[in-house]
Structure 1
Amino acid sequence: MRMSTTPFQLLFALLLFFSPETVIFPVNCLNIALNDDVLGLMVFKADIQDPYFKLSTWKEEDDSPCKWVGVTCDPYSNRVTELHLTGFSLSGHISKGLLRLQSLQTLSLSRNNFTGLITNPILTQLIKNLQYIDLSQNGFSGSIPDPLFTQCGSIKSISLANNKLTGQIPNSISSCSSLQNVDFSSNQLSGELPKSIWSLTNLRTIDFSNNFLDGDIPHEKIETLFDLRVFNLSSNNFSGELPDKIGECLLLETVDVSNNYLVGTLPVSLQKLSLCNVVSLRGNYFTGDVPEWIRSMKSLEILDLSVNNFTGLVPNSLGDVESLKSLNLSLNQFAGNLPESLGKCGNLSVIDLSWNLFTGEVPVWVFDLRLNSVSLLGNRFTGIVEFGESAAAFDSLEILDLSSNSFSGMIPSSIGNFSRLIDLNMSRNSFIGSVPASLGGLKAANVIDLSHNWLNGSIPYEICGAGLLEELWLDSNLLTGSIPEQIQNCSDLTTLILGRNNITGTIPVDIAKLTELEYVDLSFNHLSGSLPKELTNLTSLVTFNISHNELEGELPLGGFFNTIPVSSVSDNPSLCGSIVKQSCPGAHPKPIVLNPNPSHSDHGSTSLNMSHKRIILSISAIIAIGAAVFIALGVIVVTILNLHVRNSISRSAAVALTFSGGDDFSHTRSPSSDYGKLVMFTGDAEFVSGTNALLNKECELGRGGFGVVYWTALRNGRSVAIKKLHVPSMSKSQEDFDREVKKLGMIRHSNLVLLEGYYWTPTLQLLINEYVSSGSLYKHLHEGNAENTLSWRERFEIILGTAKGLAHLHQMKVIHYNMKSSNVLIDCSGEAKVGDFGLAALLPSLDRHVLSGKIQSALGYMAPEFACQTVKITEKCDIYGFGVLVLEIVTGKKPVEYMEDDVVILCDMVRGALDNNQADGCIDRKLKGNFPIEECISVIKLGLVCASQVPSNRPDMEEVIKVLELIQCPSEGQEEIE
């Protein structure tokens, strides 16, 4: 008969467990029969929080824990051998209780909310006896200590993925001779990869992806990893070449080094990997051709060579890889025709050849295979597109993107046979003829984009047979006729873009039934009549552009139309209302009108207008004169300061240019060539020497695509930040560099980081910036603790401040080029300051791909047109990055996050949540206290508009500021609607 245990006895046993040297009491006097494993697990449970009562089966009165949830015991000894608590939402710290489980071999605590330092000595002791430990997807922080691995015993698998670990991977990891699987992915680890790791010859999986590791990938002895299956170093800062002997690891199944800075050609040894399923080299600087020996990789299923500098033709031998399922060659410089041999790849489901130099017609095999996704955009394909009547892809294709090519002819009516097509994009080609009525057969379609072609005729009323349609883009064609009333059947429509056509007639009142509409563009047509008053029922509207038409009558009153931008209704001479500042016939005059009876005297009205114009002209003249005087004074001041600086350089050159960062100067040169040219716009050119010299590595603040930033101090004690540009060999001449930097130095705004000066030699260029004390927005969002998280009001002010800074840049005709959270700094008062602006102007006219590579760290912020060689880079690219930044601030998530089995794009995630009326679920859970949910959602919508795929749909920054101010201080009308 089992003996019962009182709470007092359990408490006494716990005291005995924790302090046996201080509690002297014979155990048998407790009249207790507690199992060691029960005691250990109950101690562990007592130290954690279990919000969903997942551990409710764990009861202190049980003799054995073997029937408890998550617990596995040895059938003979009844001792706990495995503890699986994955995804239980547990939180707290790992306590000593687990040390009581002397037979424990497997510990899985992944996908919980455990916190604390990874240096916890309890973890070090646990690893001594464990074979498998999984602490992934928690909140552990700190650097990995050497002792964690020095006594790692017989451990075979360790996963610390998706935590907040920092520092370097310790060399002591080589002590774990039994280690088979190591996963430290998705942390903040830095430094070089230890060469000693290749001594772990039992390794099967290496995953250090999504960190900040740098340097070369060690080449020595990699061929000794005979059992290696998975090699994943993606999304780091590795440079150099891929190890040439990597193909000697003959059992490799996955090679993923994507999103690094690797160079060179494909190692020849790769052809030995006959068992390899995945090769991903995306987002590097690889060059050369794809070799014919690719056919040797018989098991290859995924080949991703995108975003590199590969050239030449796609080899015919690729068609011999019949196991191929996904082929991505996008954003390279491949040329020529597509080989017919790819038609033999019967398993191929995804093909992305976008943004290359391919020519010729689309091969027949593209639609004869059962493909799921075909993306050929941004090439030089020509000819007529034909699907045939029995294409195998009719039942499988979900994405078809033929945009930005030179296709011609009519769009085949058989296009309506793609029963599973979700996204159709044939924009920016030379298609002619009418819009096929058969598009109504695309029952699964969400997006149809036929914009920027030569299509004519009317919009077919059948098009809304595609009942799930959300986006319809027919702008920039030659369409005529009226908007069909059947448009109301597209009940899920959020985007209706029909601008720049020859559409006539009225705007049908049935559009008001499309309650999901957010973006409407009917501009540059010949629409007439009045606007239906029912349009005020469209509560989700973000834009409604009807400019450049022949509309008349009063603008609708209420809702979105109370604040519609003037630019969205301009050039409709007969429209009236307060927005267009034109009174409607029969409307009662306002009290402030000087002439209460305008029908009495036209002459009086004319006189008033002329007087008004004279006032405007005189104000403009005053502003112009004032600006000229200001500029002249500025030139004089800068000239005087330059003279002062030049005089001071000779006195303090040795002090001002003391470098300890590794950039040596020849002391045999003359002073002018030795020290180059130093210009300070602030007039203070003297720096503190010694250990706080300009390029002291101990004072490094951060690194980016354009350079490294160091902290230093001026003689008066004021701090400055020195940015050493990465690419001196590509910089402009001194004359051009001086001119461009001086332009940036003249920019002054409270939300912009002040450029205080610069230094130039042919081999070294430095920018001297204002030092902003509280670090970057990135650190506040992603590296701070929960106690110091930004409040909603602080976040809103940062968004508004960033918008103001960016608007000022655009007013000064400066494009930022590199908008991201690490380039938004926060000063001591919480004010946002945008930094690193206009740096691309300091370089020569770089190739677009090279420039995009320099800001590769801005992955997720880059506007889609940045990848297109033919599209001009404008301020709209900055606005796209700002939109992503807004979503990052509201959600607390990075623009691109790499999960275990997926890549999450922030814009797509938020847009999907908004579509499902779950936008409030996107708001950062770290936000505390009461905050206005509706205000957050409004900001989210604004961010999505700014991050529109189409540049013309993005507002300018002045409009963004007005919208933010309206969101923060809504008008009385808006408050009533809400």
Structure 2
Amino acid sequence: MPARSALLLSLFFWFLPAFTGAMELPLPPNEEVLGLIVFKAALQDPTAALTSWNEADASPCNWAHLHCDPDTGRVTRLALDSLFLSGPLPRGLDRLAALAALSLSNNNLSGPIPPGLSLLPSLRLLDLSRNAFSGRVPQDLALLPSLISLELSSNALSGPLPDSLFSAAACRSLRLLSLAGNRFDGPLPVAALSRCSLLLHLNLSSNRFSGSPGFASSLWSLSRLRVLDLSSNAFAGAVPNGIENLHSLKVLRLNDNRFSGAIPGSVGLCPHLTTLDLSRNSFDGSLPSSMRYLTSLTSLRLSNNQLEGDLPQWLGSLTATRELDLSNNKFTGNLPASLGNLKRLNYLDLSNNRIVGSISDEIAGCTRLTEIHLKENKLNGSIPQGLFSLGLQVLDLSSNALTGAMPAGTTVSATLQFLDLSDNKLSGTIPPEMALFFGLRHLNLSWNGFRSQLPPELGLFRSLSVMDLRNNALYGSIPGNLCESGSLYVLQVDDNFFSGPIPEEIGNCSSLYLLSLSHNYLNGSIPPSISQLKKLEILNLEFNNLSGEIPPQLGALDNLLAVNISHNRLIGRLPPCKMNVPKPLVLDPNAYLPGFASNIPNFAYPAATPVRRRRFLSASSIIAISAALSIVLGVLVVTLLNVTARRRIELPAENGPKSMCSSSTKSGGPAVGRMVAFSAGFSLKTEEFKGGAEALLAKATEIGKGAFGTSYKASSAKDGSIMVVKRLVAANIVQYHEYFDREVRLLGKVMHPNVLPLRGYYWTPQLQLLVTDYAPNGTLHSRLHERDASVPPLSWPERFKIVLGVAKGVAHLHQAFRPPIIHYGLKPNNILLDENGEAKVSDFGLARLLQRLDKHVASERFQSAMGYMAPELACQSLRVNEKCDVYGMGVLMVEVVTGRKPVEYGEEDVVILIDQVRSLLDQCNVVECVDASMGEFPEEEVLPVLKLGLVCTSQIPSSRPSMAEVVQILEVIKAPI
């Protein structure tokens, strides 16, 4: 509709009531048409979903996305979900006097929720979820007399909830209230909320609500509640008794808060409870015996607390349970034999407790089990034969004290995908029947005492990605058919007794990115077929008896990042490698802590079968010297390519306003050049861009440059507030506004005290900008490595505060979103410090947003993250996960303690910080590497943080802790004041 027509309709709409009142004429019969046209005119509709809305129609009843009462012809339901509508919520809906249901969920609507919805007297259902609404909840919502369901989840609404929102009139008919996934804070008005006596569903999760220890007692009066979700808030203290009053309750989620004390004994008096999630709190004591009466319970999650005592036998009475997660507590005693009664159980996680004894054969009676996690306990005895007959997908028994042999004659299992028996005391042979696990993707038998040859049947694996057999007593030759499937990414057989040559068939391992055969007795030459491993990035052959000339074919491995062939009898020169890094990065993949010990802060190595001690000696000097000339040439070439790439990327922005306001023929999206805001405090407007991007992104305001773009310090023309505008490097790559908007809106929902919030974005096909807050104290990198002489060095309390803050922020990204938001580039340059010295994680999730980076940008990204990137990030064929961020977090912790960069280049050597610290730790001289500039420091805190950093940088992702565990350990390390 032309803009002039829309304006006239708007004016007519506003003056209509006064005009008709003065003339004493009835409202025209098409008042609903007028109201809906005004509503449509103010919206951006990129998919033309509202095309059928025609102002010339006498009635809207044939329009799409609405429904009319067939008797009265009045609009009763308006459902505009998932139509990519954007803009503020327009006026016009108050003309729909009979409207009973309004649903605008999963759009891009922004700004505050305007007052006026209370003028819809018949409204019973209001759903504004999954948008970008901000500001306070309008108090006039309490005036809706017939409202049954109010759904405002997944927005950016903020502030405390007013008591008036839950007046007696407002609560008269309310059955469902969901405010989840917003930014509400302050105490929850429980006294007022308790007036809503008819509530059936209450979801306040993922906000910042707080409350005193007894706050919940007022909620127990809502006796009709079926769902109560208070998860992911800041509630603290003990949960009072009285929950038995919720006799209809089916779902109770209190996870991810700060609750403490004992689990209330009355929880077992809720007979209809099907889901109970109290995980990630500080509950202590034993499990209340009343829980045995929860016979309808299907999901019980109590992980990450301080619960203790023996696992009770009555767990077997919860016969409806399908999911049982008691991991990361202090439970003791034996595994209850009664667990075999849980015939519907499909997920069992008792990891990281203090459970002793053997694994009872009765567990094999749980025939529906698909995942068993029992790692990091004190279990002994043998592995029950029946576990391999259950149709499991995941079996993790690592870091225990299991003995005996692998069960022989195992039943064929096409379902098992993940098998981790590492860090135990298993012995005997690796049975050939292992090859019958056709679907196996991850096999870890490391750190045991297996003594046999590798059965050639292992070559029958068709889906295996990871094979880790390190630190055993395996002998004989390495079978040549291990890689016939072509799916193997990681092959590690270090610290065994393998002999004979490296098989020529190793060239068939076309998917390998990590090949580690070190600390064996291999002889012969390096086979030239290794040049066929085009994806290989890490090669470790050190400490063998290899001889002959180093094959020149190694120079053809373009992706090779790390090579260690030291301590052999090889001759010749190491051929130059075509690398996109200034100098070769030499890693030591064997130097990792195999077990994630629970006796923090000591991190003792687990008891294991005696093996030969690893010797620490970097081969970096050999590589640096032999490849020096080619590296210098490579640096010049890469520099020229990067300069060319930057010029090509910057050209579109130099075209001025015209290029910014052009439309994309590919996107099919809304009019481009629009500023989208995610928060009420965001004051930068679209109008400020009319002079062209160069007016805002002046070179004088540049404050930083990274792999994903350049950051500028900008101020609002309206109020002078300072913000940071990041110009993404991927101009002309993200061509579809809908894709960009969807991904950025997800990042805009991240709200945490240690995460830098995304305030909004600006998009055209040629220019994408992200707007965030400004951190006055700069980056952690500048405070550690570029500090002005007038600025004092960071003290240990300041450094620990930063480390803990970063860990909490990254843990929030991993836990609060499904799928989790992975940072991909955690390093001090991306850690900002606010005026109080609090750490703010920035640039999170950008690798997910800019998936189609060209090779020059990808190369620059790797160079900028040198030393922080987990090995698996370098392999594009691997599916990375949260453990990549854990690796970067480990490097960051070591860097903060030592004050040194992760990779330092000398004249003839490359020093890898992680390797050097690990070597000093082995020599009991680790105190020497602590940064002396921070003055006095408590060794009982500093050294455990260093050791935790080394645990996090394990080369095997499964050996790293989760970020939630990192936070928990850091909080334990902190000595009480």
TM score, norm. by length of structure 1: 0.62
Matched, 1:209 2:231: yes
Q: Secondary structure at the match of 2:403?
A: strand
Matched, 1:508 2:527: yes
Counterpart of 2:880 in structure 1 is none
Q: Which whole-Å CA distance do the structure 2 matches of 1:421 and 1:321 have between them?
A: 26
Is contact 1:371–1:396 with CA below 8 Å preserved after alignment? yes
Q: Which whole-Å CA distance do the structure 1 matches of 2:470 and 2:461 have between them?
A: 18
Unaligned 5+ segments in structure 1 are: 585-775, 809-826, 841-854, 862-884, 911-918, 965-978
Matched, 1:337 2:358: yes
1:562 CA displacement: 5.9
Counterpart of 1:906 in structure 2 is 822
Q: Secondary structure at the match of 2:539?
A: strand
Is contact 1:108–1:133 with CA below 8 Å preserved after alignment? no
Name which of 122, 131, 148 aligns with 1:131.
148
Counterpart of 1:117 in structure 2 is 134
1:90 CA displacement: 3.7
Name which of 390, 410, 424 aligns with 1:405.
424
Q: Which whole-Å CA distance do the structure 2 matches of 1:89 and 1:943 have between them?
A: 38
Matched, 1:415 2:396: no
Counterpart of 1:184 in structure 2 is 204
Is contact 2:825–2:888 with CA below 8 Å preserved after alignment? no
Counterpart of 1:897 in structure 2 is 815
- Residue identity opposite 1:353 in structure 2: L
Q: 1:574 to 1:472 in 2, by over 3 A?
A: closer
Counterpart of 2:162 in structure 1 is 145
CA deviation map 1:588-625 (0-9, x unaligned): xxxxxxxxxxxxxxxxxxxxxxxxxxxxxxxxxxxxxx
Q: Secondary structure at the match of 1:330?
A: coil
Is contact 1:323–1:347 with CA below 8 Å preserved after alignment? yes
Q: Secondary structure at the match of 2:481?
A: helix
- Residue identity opposite 2:138 in structure 1: P
Q: Which whole-Å CA distance do the structure 1 matches of 2:4 and 2:889 have between them?
A: 73
Q: 1:566 to 1:413 in 2, by over 3 A?
A: closer
- Residue identity opposite 1:334 in structure 2: I
Counterpart of 1:199 in structure 2 is 221
Is contact 1:104–1:129 with CA below 8 Å preserved after alignment? no
Name which of 579, 593, 604 aligns with 2:625.
579
Q: Which whole-Å CA distance do the structure 1 matches of 2:500 and 2:771 have between them?
A: 53
1:34 CA displacement: 2.6
Counterpart of 2:445 in structure 1 is 426
Q: 1:12 to 1:839 in 2, by over 3 A?
A: closer
Which structure has more relative contact order (CA 8 Å, sep 6+)? It is: 2
Name which of 431, 438, 443 aligns with 2:462.
443
- Residue identity opposite 1:904 in structure 2: P
1:167 CA displacement: 2.6
Q: Which whole-Å CA distance do the structure 1 matches of 2:793 and 2:80 have between them?
A: 42
The total of aligned residue pairs comes to: 691
Q: Which whole-Å CA distance do the structure 2 matches of 1:573 and 1:207 have between them?
A: 55
Matches for 1:823-834 after TM superposition, within 5 Å: none
1:484 CA displacement: 2.2
- Residue identity opposite 2:226 in structure 1: R
Q: Which whole-Å CA distance do the structure 2 matches of 1:573 and 1:350 have between them?
A: 42
Counterpart of 2:949 in structure 1 is none
Matches for 1:312-351 after TM superposition, within 5 Å: 312-351=333-372
- Residue identity opposite 1:278 in structure 2: S
Q: 1:377 to 1:15 in 2, by over 3 A?
A: same
Matches for 1:48-127 after TM superposition, within 5 Å: 48-66=43-61, 68-113=63-108, 114-121=131-138, 124=141
Q: Secondary structure at the match of 2:476?
A: coil
Q: Secondary structure at the match of 1:167?
A: strand
1:909 CA displacement: 12
Q: 1:182 to 1:938 in 2, by over 3 A?
A: farther
Q: 1:75 to 1:166 in 2, by over 3 A?
A: farther
1:85 CA displacement: 4.0
- Residue identity opposite 1:190 in structure 2: S
Is contact 1:377–1:405 with CA below 8 Å preserved after alignment? yes
Counterpart of 1:699 in structure 2 is none
Q: Which whole-Å CA distance do the structure 2 matches of 1:226 and 1:75 have between them?
A: 41
Matched, 1:271 2:292: yes
1:175 CA displacement: 2.5
1:366 CA displacement: 0.6
Is contact 1:490–1:514 with CA below 8 Å preserved after alignment? yes
1:266 CA displacement: 1.0
1:65 CA displacement: 4.6
Matches for 1:950-965 after TM superposition, within 5 Å: 957=895, 958=900, 960-962=902-904
Name which of 846, 869, 893 aligns with 1:944.
869
1:406 CA displacement: 0.3
- Residue identity opposite 2:187 in structure 1: Q
- Residue identity opposite 2:201 in structure 1: N
Q: 1:153 to 1:953 in 2, by over 3 A?
A: closer
- Residue identity opposite 1:564 in structure 2: P
Counterpart of 2:381 in structure 1 is 360
- Residue identity opposite 1:898 in structure 2: A
Counterpart of 1:564 in structure 2 is 584
- Residue identity opposite 2:513 in structure 1: T
Name which of 229, 243, 249 aligns with 1:228.
249
Name which of 254, 261, 281 aligns with 2:275.
254
Counterpart of 1:766 in structure 2 is none
Matched, 1:311 2:332: yes
- Residue identity opposite 2:160 in structure 1: S
1:328 CA displacement: 0.7
Q: 1:439 to 1:322 in 2, by over 3 A?
A: same
Q: 1:541 to 1:218 in 2, by over 3 A?
A: farther
1:961 CA displacement: 4.5
Is contact 2:867–2:891 with CA below 8 Å preserved after alignment? no
Structure 1 stretch displaced more, 796-805 or 463-472: 796-805
1:143 CA displacement: 3.0
Counterpart of 1:786 in structure 2 is 760
Is contact 1:309–1:333 with CA below 8 Å preserved after alignment? yes
1:456 CA displacement: 1.3
Is contact 1:107–1:134 with CA below 8 Å preserved after alignment? no
1:858 CA displacement: 7.6
Counterpart of 2:600 in structure 1 is none
- Residue identity opposite 1:579 in structure 2: I
Counterpart of 1:474 in structure 2 is 493
- Residue identity opposite 1:897 in structure 2: Q
1:161 CA displacement: 2.1
1:801 CA displacement: 3.9
Counterpart of 1:291 in structure 2 is 312
Is contact 1:564–1:579 with CA below 8 Å preserved after alignment? no
Q: Which whole-Å CA distance do the structure 2 matches of 1:152 and 1:296 have between them?
A: 39
Q: Which whole-Å CA distance do the structure 1 matches of 2:565 and 2:359 have between them?
A: 43
Matches for 1:150-165 after TM superposition, within 5 Å: 150=167, 151-165=170-184
- Residue identity opposite 2:317 in structure 1: S
Q: Secondary structure at the match of 1:175?
A: coil
Q: Secondary structure at the match of 1:166?
A: strand
- Residue identity opposite 1:960 in structure 2: P
Matched, 1:496 2:412: no
Structure 1 stretch displaced more, 257-266 or 234-243: 234-243
Q: 1:170 to 1:16 in 2, by over 3 A?
A: farther
Q: 1:396 to 1:932 in 2, by over 3 A?
A: closer
1:963 CA displacement: 8.7
Identity %: 33
Q: Which whole-Å CA distance do the structure 2 matches of 1:263 and 1:64 have between them?
A: 63
Q: Which whole-Å CA distance do the structure 2 matches of 1:478 and 1:123 have between them?
A: 77
1:292 CA displacement: 1.8
Q: Secondary structure at the match of 2:433?
A: helix
- Residue identity opposite 1:212 in structure 2: A
Q: Which whole-Å CA distance do the structure 1 matches of 2:564 and 2:890 have between them?
A: 10
Q: Secondary structure at the match of 1:481?
A: strand
1:378 CA displacement: 0.7
